């Protein structure tokens, strides 16, 4: 049990590093240029054959105009989703995209995620294929990315933007002191400069780590000592399942085994909740974001 918890924590830690890389601007100069590549030039095209290299952009295009998708990256989020059963996978798991397969699909646009897709995107650019790198680390960047993609595939973004709004409560005054703990070895929590931290600000939540800064190697996250957690003593604690999936009960049970946690009011009041990695830590997909928002409403409103 202990070994499984350590392994799960390590997986979460490594995945957050990848997400943080995606959410920072410390990319190589070529990659940064790709991300900002003359969107005005790109906007002149009306893409009809699109390959997506991230689950979020796959979902966005599917909900804007599914007929434009000819290739997608494999994702556990869509493993049993009938929307994507007949669409070519250009990658699976953590394997890099198959460039030959992408080229064979004759796309007029390939969309990737900055920090994850930089190298294949650069190579596709060299082959003369139009590309776009996206970066979603805040709610506003989700909306902006949706608008850009809609413009490139000649679709109306408004229905999807309205759908996003329905996820968020009208009342956002911070009332419930909360800590999101994405790992406990080390104790890692998101501040406001992360997708999770920004999402929490849309709810009546007082993220106790929002303004904290530290020496964590992961942008948007800080490490806490047990003493700091005890001093903060949040009303609510949110734990995260491993990105590869796992039992929420197991995550909660492992959390409760350490006597330190039993001293927190969130534990004594049974206000420790477990969220999926996708949606709260990594946006992942629109459905994952919706689910995370529904849970935040359920537990915090």
Of 265, 186, 271, 197, nearest to 233 by C-alpha is 265
pLDDT value of position 93: 74
Average of per-residue pLDDT across 29-51: 65
CA atoms within 13 A on the CB side of 114: 25
**Mean pLDDT for the stretch of residues 172-182:** 86
- Asked if residue 212 has pLDDT above 80, the reply is yes
- Report the first-to-last Cα separation within the chain, whole angstroms: 34
Of residues 183 and 237, the one with the higher pLDDT is: 237
pLDDT above 70 for 229: yes
Question: Taking the domain 37-167, which CATH number applies?
Answer: 3.40.50.1980
Average pLDDT over residues 140-150: 96
* pLDDT(243) > 80: yes
Query: What is the SS3 assignment for 110?
Result: strand
Nearest to 12 by CA among 270, 207, 202, 251: 251
pTM (2 d.p.): 0.86
How large is the average pLDDT for residues 97-109?
96
Domain ranges of the chain: 2-18+169-300, 37-167
**Of 255 and 129, more confident:** 129
| Residue 47 to residue 40: CA distance in whole angstroms | 14
Over 90: is that where the pLDDT of 39 sits?
A: no
Per the DSSP assignment, residues forming a β-bridge with 134 are: 113
Of the candidates 80, 75, 78, the one whose C-alpha atom is nearest the C-alpha of residue 92 is 75
Share of the chain above pLDDT 90, in %: 64
Identical fold, 2-18+169-300 and 37-167 = yes
CA–CA dist 116, 75 (Å, integer): 14
What radius of gyration, in Å, describes the C-alpha atoms of the chain? 20
For residues 21 and 133, what is the distance between their CA atoms, to the nearest angstrom?
13
Report residue 38's pLDDT band, with 50, 70 and 90 as the boundaries: low
pLDDT confidence tier of residue 6, bands split at 50, 70 and 90: very low
Mean pLDDT, all residues of the chain: 85
At residue 152 the predicted structure's pLDDT band, cuts being 50, 70 and 90, is: very high
Under CATH, what is the fold of the domain 2-18+169-300? Rossmann fold (3.40.50)
pLDDT band for position 3 (50/70/90)?
very low
pLDDT for the residue 189: 94
Dig out the tokens for 238 from the structure.
């949110």
In the predicted model, what is the mean pLDDT of residues 53-68? 96
Range in 51-55, 136-140, 181-185, 221-225 the model is least confident about:
181-185
């Amino acid at each position: 049990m202990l070994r499984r918890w350590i392994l799960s924590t390590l997986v979460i830690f490594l995945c957050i590093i990848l997400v943080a890389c995606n959410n920072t601007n410390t990319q190589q100069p070529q990659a940064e240029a790709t991300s900002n590549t003359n969107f005005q030039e790109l906007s002149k095209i009306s893409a009809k054959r699109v390959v997506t290299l991230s689950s979020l952009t796959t979902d966005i295009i599917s909900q804007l105009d599914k007929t434009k998708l000819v290739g997608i990256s494999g994702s556990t989020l869509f493993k049993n989703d009938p929307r994507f059963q007949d669409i070519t996978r250009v990658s699976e798991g953590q394997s890099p995209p198959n460039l030959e397969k992408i080229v064979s699909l004759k796309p007029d646009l390939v969309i990737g995620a900055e920090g994850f897709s930089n190298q294949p995107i650069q190579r596709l650019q060299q082959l003369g294929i139009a590309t776009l790198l996206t970066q979603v680390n805040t709610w506003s960047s989700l909306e902006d990315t949706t608008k850009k993609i809609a413009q490139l595939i000649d679709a109306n973004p408004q229905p999807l933007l309205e759908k996003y709004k329905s996820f968020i409560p009208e009342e956002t005054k911070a009332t419930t002191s909360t800590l999101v703990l994405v790992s406990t070895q080390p104790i890692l929590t998101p501040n406001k400069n992360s997708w999770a931290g920004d999402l929490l600000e849309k709810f009546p939540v007082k993220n106790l780590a929002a303004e904290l800064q530290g020496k964590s190697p992961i942008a948007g996250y800080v490490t806490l000592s047990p003493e700091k957690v005890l001093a903060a003593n949040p009303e609510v604690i949110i734990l995260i399942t491993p990105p590869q999936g796992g039992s929420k009960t197991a995550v909660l049970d492992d959390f409760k085994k350490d006597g330190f946690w039993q001293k927190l009011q969130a534990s004594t009041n049974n206000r420790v909740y477990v969220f999926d990695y996708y949606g709260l830590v990594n946006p992942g997909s629109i459905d994952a974001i919706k689910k995370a928002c529904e849970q935040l409403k359920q537990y915090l409103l």
